[in-house]
Every structure is written in structure tokens, then in C-alpha cells.
Structure 1
Amino acid sequence: MWVVHGACAGDGRLLVWAEDSELPAKVPGRAPRGPVAHPFAVPGEALREALPTDRSKVDNFALWLPSHASAPVPSPELVRDPLTAGPAPRGRIRLRSWLVPAVEIAAAAVPEVLTGIGDALPGCRLGASARFLHEVGRFADDVVSRGRVLPALETGGDRPEARWRPWLTGTDSARLVGLREAMPPSFRCVDAAPPAQALRTAVHALVDGIARVRAEIDVPRGRDATAAWLRALTGEPRFDADPDEVDRLARELDDWRSGTGEKPVRTCLRLHPPDDDEPWRLEFLLQPVDDPSVLVPAREVWQDGDSVLHRWVDDPQEALLSDLGRAGALLPELDAALRVAHPMELELDTEGAHEFLTSAPALDQAGFGVLLPSWWGRTERLGLKLTASSASTPGVVTKESAIGLDAIVDYRWDLALGDAELSEQELDELAAAKVPLVRLRGRWVQVDRKRLAAGLRFLEDSRTGRMTAGEALLHAGVGGDGAPLPVTAVTGSGWLGDLLSGQVEQRLEPVDPPPDFAATLRPYQRRGLAWLAFLDRLGLGACLADDMGLGKTVQLLALEALSRAGGSRGPTLLVCPMSVVGNWQREAARFAPSLSVHVHHGADRLGGDELAERAAAHDLVVTTYPLAARDATALSGIRWERVVLDEAQNIKNSASRQSKAVRGLDARQRIALTGTPVENRLAELWSVMDFTNPGVLGSLSTFRARFAVPVERDGDTDAADRLRRITGPFVLRRVKTDPAIIRDLPEKVEMKQLCNLTAEQASLYQAVVDDMLARIAESEGMERRGLVLATMSKLKQVCNHPAQLLGDGSPLPGRSGKLARLEEILESVLADGDKALVFTQFAEFGGMLVPHLSGRLDTEVLFLHGGTPKKVRDRMVERFQSEDGPSVFLLSLKAGGTGLTLTAANHVIHLDRWWNPAVEDQATDRAFRIGQRRDVQVRKLTCIGTLEERIDRVIEEKKALARLVVGAGENWLTELSTGQLRELVALSGEAVGE
């Protein structure tokens, strides 16, 4: 496994280098003085060939790194196989110079390289310094994209240079401070520059490199300094020109730049609202550009000759006067402040305050700080309120024709302040007001005269009428079309009112599944079933986003059983990952035996009319995401009663082939099941919602403009609240920490996680079985018993991973269905902020998993095995139990199955089955014991169609007897006849996944 690091040299060169966990961890003996070759650095040429760019070159750099006497300390992200790495070097750690082959990356390629390196190098991890360089690159790219750059002329070297420099104001300055505070020390390993200097060097290099590639400049002909400088802004930075002309150009650029507000300190303007009949006050302050936390009132600037601002500027008073004069060009009212000797604030009337508020964006763009009243950013401005009424009463649906998105509803428009409807008297007061800023109901409101008039005209022409329920929901979501003012509130009555209230779950009475449903639903699951049934009656889509382990599967099966109890319905198509197809088959057979299930999978799967006939004869058709895309034509030709997506985050990329395929399916209702509706970007939520209820969130471009960008980039809480209100009717999410859910949950939830074999696993499994059956016929006694036990162990290893059986050190990704399921479970655990114990019988397999899972999950994975010294063992337990300790603890069953208290974990995963319930229970009790304050979820990973599933079935069917028969191990297997063994280990057709 590689760990990639980033660094910035003092001359602005941007470097990446990498450590390799497979290379030796230490150099024998004490290293000589001076820089020597880093012992486990990846060779430069190998790294360059692996990077997703060709705009790079390799060189050796002396890097200052924490070191022992004989070797550098491996970075925290570098994870080695604990069983083969050997003891770590001991002794005092100090900084020492090492010669490291590094790849120098062009600034414009940094975002591309560090974004794509995970795909280019599977299993590779980004170290803290590389992640930091990536963040700085994203910041620089954003600055350039928004045009916040200025051309500059630098004359400090032997030749003049043309450079692009960032022009940072407002939030950009705050972001820069945040980056400086987050800088890891390893980012400065080239020359140990101070953090502020290292960050400035990196930002300047990135901004210059990105802008240089993107800039389009019409260069005038000629050989004068100006023409040479302009050419150098998109080509080679250094240029030759007459020194006198260069000096003149430098002075002109300094004068021009001073007019843009690019200074070490800036003037801030803070508006104070009035109390009663007092005037508004506009206060003046000074603020350092690179430290926005420092705000010095103008009163102190004039009173204190030794102002703290002297760290940034020689004459703060002159800076204040100069800025006020420049700001007067944008806000003429400020000219009055310059008529006094020591301007500190300015009194404004309401009209002047409104002028300042509306000028704030221009002042911010010009480089001034603008501090507005807290209510201005979130003030409830004048808008339209839509009231829609349906015929039915809340929670009750009487006529199929009167429900759904196409149902006709009556509507009424009113002018409103936020969601508060305005009375006729208040409308008259607004119409009579002469100032755009009006105090209404104790709050300041901006009233646009033209828009107010347009709104009143709109009410005259279109106050009442009829529209579809879908149009009403669209108005609630993105505003719809045709309204001259923003739609600030949408309310309704009946079922539509329940949807618009965002509290459907709380308003509905719980629903019970039919009598033949073989599971007892917990109270929160009954509420979930009622919610699903309510939307089902309306033909509206739903996203059930309960936490992992809260029973989304059983709630969906209950809905299927309930909807079919009232009469015949068409088939439901369920699309899921291959790893859970077996789960759905068995859970349906267990909880809803009345449902007939057909699995659409395999080389002999049906198509065309045959598939349509087979689907019509079944209640539930189960297929996988790849097949949904591959067989899109056949599946889209069937009218489905319902299409359900399990693990719906698989369609988070709306442009992917499988996302487009499932959106094209014809169904009366659509349901998405996912524990992680949003993993990285809000666009993922749009993709899921566009599947369940197309159009409710508008187009993707509209969604990005109104929600994704404001929330993700600017942290807009109002936009986030609006999005929650819009999605509330269609997304039901309960988490394990909800008090109501905690009361409903048992203390321990045990579940089987059924996994498929890959084709490689199936081939190895069959080879082991054939070999055993051929040899067992010729053996007896102890030889036969030993052969059976050895074969059982080999088959377990095959079910875990081919690399464990082969022992060849081959890569792990993509070769094991069980490992894929483990990764999915741990990703959900980490996303919820929980901790997990993972048990395996095989210490050597645990050693293989540690570096793989560390890289795959980008987190530290602890590993305790029989060779772990007691002090190290105790330290591991202490760290895991701490609140901020690692979240994944891998343990060999014998070493970690008893004697430990690990109550920080609320998830226990048995990776391979011990087949002795007592042993597994003992291991589970590491988390499920006194001191555990949360409910524990126990998952036992079992491969479908293999001896793992068959032995598990024997134990479950005869558990009491099995505890006596199985005893403490697997010796009972050796007494089976050859025929029984053949039946036990035979590989079934359903075992193999895609």
C-alpha cells in the first residue's frame, strides 16, 4: 500500500512523494550524518508513471522528517501487515533530513492529480499533507474561477516576472486563515518555513499556475515592457525589457492595484439598527486581511498611537481615511464622514440604511468588510403564500381518482411575510410606504416597490383557481413558474396538507401487517409501515433512510404483504447489490412466506415475453444494479406495481448508466432504501429523489443553484432548512440515537449477512472440494479426520478471500464477496460515527486486512492477535475505548474473544464462522456487557450456497442440541459419512455473484 504526501518548496514548487508499506521499514545500524536515501520511499519514476498526469518531473529533495536513529518514522497513514512488519525502531524521535525522490507537479494539474489518484492507484491513501495540498488547490481553483485574481509584476530577481496573485477579501480571507490553522507540519518538510509563509507560497504558486492556463489575453504588438509583461502572463513568467520601462510599469501597476483595495488592512463598515426613533449608526473599523479575527474600532484607531494594527500597517489612521474616500465612490453618503477630523461612525436615516444594505455586495467585492445586522441575511422577505386544499380529510384517502400528483386541488394565493399571511390593512401600509425598508410586525422588511405592485396585480388576476397536486408540491420545492415573487410558504388540507406539513409520520395511525406476516414489528417499524402505506395509496415515491440495522428490509416486506392482502397486484421489482440478493430471498421466505420471489440473475436468466410472463406470476422480482442497466430494455417493457432500490446510494451519480436505467422503469410507485441518502454531495440526494418522485426538486441545474451551492459552499442554513421541508414528506430517516428508537430497540440485535462468492472463489472452492472427496475415499481413522478438518479450514479461507488460501500476497480488492460486504458495513458504521469489532479466526488474514481496510476506509484499524505484547494490547484497548480513538478494531478470535471490555463498540462483525455458538457469544460479549450504554448489532457473515450456510442452518435448527454436539470445535464434522460430507460442502448455483 502506498501513502502519498504533499509539500511546497520555498520557491513555489509543488511536490508529491510516497511511502510504500512493502519496502523495508528500517535501515540496519545507525545512519551516517547528512541526508541519505529514504529507506521506504517509492521510486520517483514509479510514482510519476502511476500519477494521472503527464505534466510532472522527478527530482530528489532533502526533506526534514521525524526520525529514529536509523530510519524515518512511518507516517500515521502507512499501515503494514502487523504479522510481518517486525518491531518498530525505538529511541528518541527528532527531525532529520532524508533524500526523497519526489514528483514536481504543475500547479494547474494539482486538483486533477490528487482527485484521481485513488482511481489510478487502488488501495492508495492520501496522507494529511496531500489532503491539505488538495484543499489548498481547491481553494485556489475557486479563487481563479470567480475572477478574484490580479496580474502582478515582480522585480526582485535578476529578471522581471509576470505573475497572477490572489485578491482575497471577506470570506476568502477567513478561509485562508482556516487553511493556515489546519496545515499539518509535514507540509513544510522541505525548508521548514513558518506556516503563514508556506501557505502564502503554495497559494501564490497554485493561483498563478491555474490562472496562467485559463487566462485569455489579447497581447498588443511591440517589444515594449507592457507587451512583454502581458505575454509573460500566459507563457514563461520571466521576460526581458528595458529596466526604465519595467520600473515605470511597476509604478503604474502599484497605483492601479492600490485602487482595488489590495492592502494589508481593510476598512469594515458595521450597521447598527435603531432603537425606537433613534437613527441608524454605521460604525467604522479596521481589520487585517490575513487575520479577520482582529477588529479595531475607529475610535481606538484615533485614540491609540500604539495600535495593534501597526503589526500590519505603519499608519492605520491614513489607511482608514484613504479607504473611506474610496468607499465614497460606491456609497456617496460616506462623504459626510470625511467632513470631521476623526471619523468614527455615520448616522443614517432609514433610506440611507437601505442604500447601505443594498450596496453591501458591491462594497464587499471592492475589498471592504461589511458587517450587517443578523436579521438581514435571514430576514423573512415579502413573498407569496400558496394554500391548496384537497377533498379528503387528513390521513384518510377515499377515492383513488382524488389522490396522487395528478389530483386536482383548489388553490389561493396571498402575500405573506415568510409563512405569515398579511392582512389587507398591512398590505395597505406597505403600498403607502415611501421607503423600501419597512418595520412590520416588529421586524425590518425590504419592500421592492415594483415587485410589490407586480404581486398585487398577480393577486388580482390569479388569486384563486385549480392546479395539480404535483404543481403545488413543485411550488413548495423550487418555487414553480409564473409567480412574480418568491413562494415563501405552501400549505394545504387533507392528504396534501399532511405532505406539506412535513410531519406525515407523526399524524398517521400505526398500521399492522397482515396476520400471516411472520415478524413482530417494533413501534417505530409500524410507524414506518404506516408512512409507506400512506404514500403507496397516493402513488407517491418514498425514501426510507433509516440507520443500518433498524429494519428497512422487514418494513418493505411488510408493505408488500399488506398491499397484496387487499387483492391482486402486479409484481414488484427490487434492485439491490449482488451481495444482498440472498438476504432478500431468505428474509422474504422467513417473514412473508405468502410472497412468491423470482431472482432475475445468471447466464440463463429470462428476457422479453418470457421475463414478463415469469414476473407476472410472482410478487417480487429481485435483480442487481448491473443487470438493471444491462437488461434495461426488457425490464422497462414491464409495468411494475412498485420498483424498490435497496442500497439506493448506488444511484447517487445521476449520470451513471444504472441511474438512468432505473429512472426509465415504468412503475406505479418507487421506493428507495438507503442508510446514507447523502454521502458526499447534495446532488446525490437529488438523484435519489428524482428517482422516487421525478420533478419535485426541479432540474439538477436548478437544484444546484438553489440548494447544493448555497449549502455546500456557503453553509446557507436557510437553504438547508428549505430543503428539509421539501424532502420531509418523502424521506423518513430514523437514527439509533433517537430517544424513541432507543426505547424500541432490543439490547442486542443478531443478524446474518449473506454473501456471494466471486467466480475466482467458486473455482477455488470447487477445487478444494474435489481434492478432498478424491482423497477421503482412500483414507480412514486419524488420517481421514485430519483431512476433513484441513479441508474445512481451506474452505473457510476460500470464503474469506482467495489470497488467504493461496498465501501469495496478491491484491485484495474485487476478489471476495465477503470482503465487499464487510467494507459496505464498515462504511455505514463510520458514517454514523459508531465503532465496530471485527473477529476472525485467522490471524494471518487479519494481518492482510489491516492495510487494506485502512486504505479503503481511510482510517486507522487496530489489530490484536496472539503475538501482541500485553503492554501493546492494553494500550490498544485504552485507545479504542477513548472517545476520539480508532473506530475499527480487528481481533483474532482466540486472542480477543475473552477477557476484554470493549464497550465503545456497538457493532460486532464475525467475519468467519466458528460454528460454536458459545465461542461466538463470548466474543460478542466483549461489547455486549456491563458498561454498554447502547444497543449492540451483531452481524455474522456467511457465504450463500457453501458449507458456511449449511452448517449455520444445522446450528440454528437444532441450537440446543448443537451446543452439546458441536462442543468446543469442529471435530463433529469428522464423523460424518462421505455422502453427508459431499452434501455439506457441495457448491450450489446461487453461491456465485457477478
Structure 2
Amino acid sequence: MLVAHALWYGGALCVWAEGSDLNLGDGHPFATRDFGGTSYEPLVRGAGRVALDVLLPSAGGRPLPSPELGAVAPEGRPELVSWRVPALVLEPFPAMALLCAAEGAADVVPGTDLRFLALLAAEALDLTARGRVLPTLVREDGDLAARWRPVFTDPERFRRLARAMPPACRAADPGRPVGEVLREALSGLADTAVRGVLPHPLLPSRTGRAPDRLPLAERWAAALAGPDPAISREPGDDPRELAAELDAWAAAAVRPVGPVRLCFRLTEPPEAEPKGPWRIEFALQGTDDPSLLVPASLVWAGRAGPVEDAEETLLAGLGRALRIFPGLVEALRDPAPAELRTDAAGAAEFLRGTAPLLAAAGFGVLLPTWAGTARLGIRLALRGGDEEASSGSAASSGFGLGDLVRFRWTLAVGDEEVDEGELAELARLKAPLVRLRGRWVELDEERLAAALDFVQQRRHGTMTAGQAVRAVIHSGSVALPLVEVTADGPLGDLLSGDAARRLVPVPAPPGVEATLRPYQERGLAWLSFMDGLGLGALLADDMGLGKTITVLALLEHERTGGSPAGPTLAVLPMSLVGNWRREAARFTPKLRVHVHHGGGRHRDDDLVRAATDSDLVLTTYGTAARDAETLARVEWGRVVCDEAQALKNSGTRQARAVRSIPARTRIALTGTPVENHLTELWSIMEFANPGLLGPRPAFRERFAIPIEAHGDEAAAAALRRATGPFVLRRLKTDKTIISDLPEKQEMKVYCNLTTEQASLYQATVDDMLEQIAESDERQRRGLILATMAKLKQVCNHPAHLLKDGSRLPGRSGKLERLEEICAEITERGEKALVFTQYAEFGTMLQPYLATRLDRPVLWLHGGTPRERRDEMVAWFQSDPGPAVFLLSLKAAGTGLTLTAANHVVHLDRWWNPAVEDQATDRAFRIGQTRDVQVRKFVCVGTLEERVDDMIERKKALADSVVGTGEEWLSELSVAELRDVLRLSPEAVSA
């Protein structure tokens, strides 16, 4: 169990976790910043990493455990001791999200400090909702910034919060007063809460005026809404006048809140006079009962009822509002101001810019019901082609992407269509607010220009279903969004993107000698549905969820239903051929299976005959590439690619050969549809449904570059729309998918270097930096990659780098920690998998660990014969005693089931999360009955820690993307390399 802790330090939320059984060594022995595998993980992705010295109650040389852990406290007199704690530093919006979700997690228990800060987050949201916040101008690190600050009108409430703050909330800086920490935390959370509801940009753009040329007050207002509070500086800026006005506003605001507040109500012209003036009416509104409104006209008429000091309250409110709504000056010329009259342009500016500011500042704002909803958009209607259209279809059966469908594009406002005549009239009016069919419509220049361009295009006719899908994927923009798609028949089911959930699950057919899990029955129904449409599918279920048996059940479903469309070719990694053959024999024994592999395989006509007489043909990627020409002569009903990431490099001979084998439909199976780059997803989808995502260069321009380089959320959403109908993705961690799989706890194990390792490390870095200055680009790249490999070997062990056969004990912090962990695991009677990417290092470790642990230590690598490989796996799975299984990451990262282990250690990092997750899934898969602990070793203060930090940040980008292996490091500048490779003082153990 993990207990999550939090403190406010350095103006930000810092979180860390505590577990009674972590025993992580240096610093706080039970502290970690790794929430991997928990519901907190998505909330902390991309967070910065920091080590904090935290003052905590301790006894017996150990910190006292949190009460939530229920652990026995060590004996001795408690005292405050400083402990080094690894923590995560969250940006404002992720911090607010975590605090709001803190109590809702079932797998992480919030500590008292985190619960208190979650209470502060709720307080900040409440203050924002009640308008008890004000904009301010502050200096941060010498620069101007626009911030929102809470207004405290209840001193006793503030004192109660201060008394309730647990000391742990400020344990990293215990000398700071409680009130100061509380005010800083609540102010930071309130600023985040306001920015979460304000539109961005807040103010309408000024034609011909660059943002940095606007007056200071307008640059300040713009910075109040965006994610960055910094205000751009211009020569001649004098913030004193603006600061004085804001200070006066704040001083007036701390007066006790009365029962009413000033409210602004926008009223459109009457229907009979659409060109009449718009009115922004003033009123007093009840703070507790917003339905209570007293118009300003009644206030000046002395008919404000029970409202005390109504005239003074109204005038004071208008005076404060004038600071953010300068247009009010016209109304204040009247001795009894009751409303401000304006035109359509003024009303539009009020809607888009002023109203959100007033609401955030605590004023009441009432807008027409149509505001924000009645905007121009486009709709697409698709219908199955008529007989004439269908006669030209190339589809052989069912429904395919080549079939023709009728389409019709239309412009719409809400749920009503707009014809060209009405659009021409809207363009003629050139007004931001116009009346159309009895309702007001917001219309800006950008949207109108997009609509006028739209009417010039062909808006009805026929196109293929594939073109229709691509039109849905690529149509729509911020200027002219795609607001609705309607389609009938199978195309409608496909475009819903939710077919797998809506389809009736298909139970295991009679020939399947197994009971399918509910999610597998839904997967079978989805594959059958896609096959019936003649479309390719990407079954991207997590590793270990049973993709193989789902496909076998599909073949048996077709066989027993009497509708097989031809044999199925399964293209597999060599390590999976035996697994597929065994599972087919076990679960679908009536299927006719033929293995096409090895020197004695059938060739030419013999192969064609053998395949035609089979239900399922198993082959490898290498064999398929060599025999592609003969395989193309078989009338395949389907081609299945398992571990389809083997196709990720679309230009390789292997990928081109597999794509060239014709088949009615295709299925790609992979638990990692993206390992390194989004173009890998394009390559897999190009196999399953050729041409769906367009040419590769266009895909890179449209999706890969915006998402990978800029974190473009709109592009990521468009990509999900593009691939969603063709991808079924389920995760083991989703309890709605599989509830009987145990938990996976991921953690980092931080190791120090020995003095010898540090000396070798620094010498390797110095040697590279000296050589790199004199190398050309090609030499530079090779030199950097070679240095990376050497530094990783140094972090493993000096003997790994030197290759001198020297002794192992006492020379490597990483080896010492590995030995300790393996000893703990085997003493408990449990088993562990230890992955290394270096076969030579595994060969060194196997005899050493076997001697030190006095337990069986197995070693599997690329040179292990298949018979020996199978023997080791069978023994490891069946023998009840403790053991350690050393495995080469490349040779054993896929295709094995090793659920006898409930511990996984990644000794030296591949620096690719997808590859590491594949390896972890050797143990964390169906059949595992115990929680799995995953440890990833990192040498602190070295490139291992810095690259790990980079990858954690990159993982936050749209499920994202890291460079292949170490290749991307070669693109760094010399200064960046120096920073990544430098050896920090904390790297060396004392």
C-alpha cells in the first residue's frame, strides 16, 4: 500500500509516497516518487523531480511510519530528524487535478498533509465560484506577472485553516510561519482555479496591433487568462498607476461582504427592431439567492425593498467594475446609471471578453441563453450508395472502404441548416452578432471566411467509404468545426467509434475448448464485425489479455458457422510460433494448422496446396519476407501480424513484403502500437487498412510533428478520431476490463556509483568531449552513441566496461543493490525476473548471483537453444522454490509467460518505456495471482537519471513518444551533452 504525501514548497505542490515495505535504502527508506501502476500515475506524468530535505518525526534511526500504513513504529523516543525524500513537483493544473481527485483513489491512501491541501483546493474553488478573487499585478523574479488572489473576508476561517495545517505541509521549510505558507498555497490554488474557467485569449484581438504593442493594462488583462502569467515588457512601461488602482480595488474588496452584489445583464434588441441598441442592464443580485434581482431603475426610484444602502452599493460596484470595464464611463455620466447602451460590436466584445472578467472578479453576469452555442459549423450526412453507384464498387463482399456512398455537406447553426442565400446575407451584414431565423448568431470574421470558402466546394455526390472516413477525420477546424455526422448501415456503426461496446458479445463457439472472458467475447464480436465489413482491424489489447485466443476463436467461429473466406496466414516473431501452435492445439484442436518455417518448409506449388488445405498457416516475419512471392499466390482470407510493431519501420524489406501479400482482410495484434514514433502507428495502420491515413509525409505533417514536437491536443484528438473506429484497445489496469488481475507497483531504485565507477565515468565523458570538438557530423554521431554505451556499462560495473575478467564484489553500487534485492526476494520464497540489455553482463552475473544467493539463477539470451529455452521456462514456472531468472531484453522481452515471478527488475535501462513494459508483461499477465513489483534501476547524478527524467516528461505527450534507443541523444548540442552526461556530487556513495 502507498500513502501519498504533499507539501507546499517553493510556490508549488510537491508530492511523494510512502510504503512500509519499500526499503529503498539511502535517505528516507520508505519514500518514493513513483506512482506507476496507480490511479495517481496519469495525474503526475510529466512532473518535475526534486530531492527534498524534510523534517519528520523519527525514532530508532528510522522515520515514524504514517498512521495510514498501520505499521509498528520503531522503539525509542521520537524526535525531529531531516530525511532526504524524492518528490515530484507539479505544474499548477496537474496539481489542482491531483488534489481534487485525492480522496477518490482506491489504490493510494492520501496522508493527512495531502488531505489538508485537497481541502485548500476545495476552498480555492469555492472562493472562485463565489467571486471572492481579485486580479493583481505582482513582481516575480524581477518581472511583472498577472495573478488572481483570493479575498479573505472571514479572518476566523483563515485562522481555523492555519491551526488545522499539519506540520508535514511545510516540513521542507519548517521555519516559515504557518500563515505565510497557507496564504501562498491558497493564492496559488485560487489563481489556478480562475484560469481553469476563463476563456483564452480573454480579449478580442486588435487588427494590426501585435500583442506586445498593446498598452500595459491590456497586456496585464491578457496574462490573467492564459497559462503563463508573465507580462511582456515594453520600454516606457510604468506599472505604478495600474498597481495603485488594483491596490485600491483590493482594499475596498476586503470590507465585509453584503447580502447583494452588482450584476450585469445583457439584453438583445426586441424582435421587431433587430437593428436597435443592445442594453447591458445594471442590477443588485442576492449573493445567497442569485434569483433575487433588483434592477438599478428601481434602486434610483427608491423601490429597492429591504436592500439597505442600495444606492451606495450600486455606485461602489460600478466604480470597481470600471477598472476592468472602461466602457462603463458612458453610463456613469448619468447621475442615476441604470444601463449601458451599445451596438452589436460592443455586445460581442462584452460577450467574449468583458463578461468573463467581470464574473471572475465576483460580479454577477447574466447572458442570453443562446450565447456561446449558436455558431456556424458544418455537418456531413452519409448514405449507402444506390444501385447505380454501387455498380462501380470494387468491394468483393460485405462492405469495404472501396464501396461508394452518397454524401452531403451542409452549413448549420445549432441544429438548423443554413443555405447559400442566408450565408450571403450574413456576409453582407458584416456584423459580429446577427439575427437568423429568429435567433441571434455569433459570427466572427474567421468563421465567416471559412464558411464562404466552404460553399465554393462540391458539397454533395458520391465518394468511397474510405474517402468518407478520411473526410470525417480531416474535416473541421476551430474556425468551422464539424458539428455532426450522420450515417446509416454498417458505416454508421463504424463511425460511431463505439462498436465494440455496443456489439452483442459472441460466446466461445463449440469448437473452442476454453471459456472466454467477457472482454474477449466483446473482442471476438468486434473482430467479426470488422471482418463482415471487409475492414482491417488493430487489436491493441495490453500484453497478456489473450489476443491469440481471441483470434483463434474467430477462426473457429467462422469454421463452425460455415463461412470461412479462405485460410488465415499468421506472421509471427520466431519466438511465438511454438506458442501459437500449442494454443491452437489446446484451445481449437479442430483447426487445421500448418507451420511454414525452417529449411524443410514447403515451397512453390507445394506451399500453395498446403496453405489451401489449412485453416491456419503459421510463419515468421523473416520467412514471409523470403517467400512473399509464393505466399502471394494463395487466396488468403486474412493475414494476421502478431507483435505488429515488427512492421513499425514501413520502408524495410520485411514490412514491404508483408504488406504485399494480398488478403480479404487483415488484423494487426500488438500491445504497443507506438513504441517510439507516431509514424510507427501509421505503418501498422497502413498494413491493416492501406491508404486510410494518407501518405506517410502527409501523416507526419498533420499528426506526428504537431503531437510529438508541440504536444498539440487538437491534432491528438483528430488522430484518435482517425484511428478509433479501427482500433480496439484494452488495458490490464482497467478494472472494468479485467478485475481479477492483481496490482502492478512500479518504482525507481536509485543507486550510487563507487569511487572507481565515478573515476571511469568522468574519464569517459572527458575523452568524448575532447574528441567531439575535432569530429565531423558522421563521426560525432557514432562517438556519442559509443560513449552512451560505455557510460551505461560503467554504471553497471567497471568489469563490464573493462572486459578484463576482474572480480565483481565491492566495485558497483548497482550490483550491490541488486544482490540485496534478490536476497530479500528469495528469502521470502519468491521469484524474480532480472532484465539486462547486455548479454555479456548477464553472463558475468549468472555465476556470481548463483554463488552469492545459493539459489538457482537461470540465464536466457539470444544464443540459448530453443530446447534449453523451453526447459528453463517450464522449470521456472513449475518449481515451487525461489529463483532468479536473468534474461536478455532483446531475446526474452516478448513471447514468454513467466507468471511464477512476482518481481521484475530492469537492471540497465533500454530508455524506451514500451519495450520495458513488454518485458514486464512476461510476469504481469493473465495467470498472475500476486501483486507484481517492478523495479527500475537508475544511477543518481549520471546520464541514467537525466535521461529517465527526459523520458518521464516525454511520456506526457499524447501517450507519447521517445526516440529510438539512444539515437535521439546524438542530436544534442555539446552544451546539452555536457549537462546530460555530467557527474553530480550525489552520484558517488560516501
* TM-score, L = length of structure 1: 0.46
* TM-score, L = length of structure 2: 0.46
